[in-house]
Amino acid sequence: MEEAPKMISTKDLAYLSDMANWNFNAAKMCYHFANEVEDQQLKDMLLRTMKMHENNFDKIITILS
């Protein structure tokens, strides 16, 4: 079985960059709204969602490194 090349195409790099931006912005929005709501269950859900987007962002950054 052949090994995958150790390079990323320009198109793939652009898509990974877009995905990183989507996750970064989603995490920021979740953090913002978690600080705006008073309902503790909703706040917890938003913070969990923020953490998920942060983890996705970190994985994409690792791929780009």
Average pLDDT rounded to a whole number, residues 31-42: 96
CB 50 within 8 A of CB 27: yes
Helix then strand then coil, in percent of the chain rounded to 5, is: 80, 0, 20
pLDDT of residue 14: 93
Nearest Cα neighbor of 27 from 64, 65, 63, 59 is: 59
CB 19 within 8 A of CB 60: yes
> Whole-number mean pLDDT of the chain?
91
- Number of CB atoms found within 10 A of residue 56's CB: 17
Average pLDDT rounded to a whole number, residues 14-43: 96
pLDDT beyond 60 at 1 = no
pTM listed for this prediction: 0.81
- Work out the percent of the chain whose per-residue pLDDT is above 90: 72
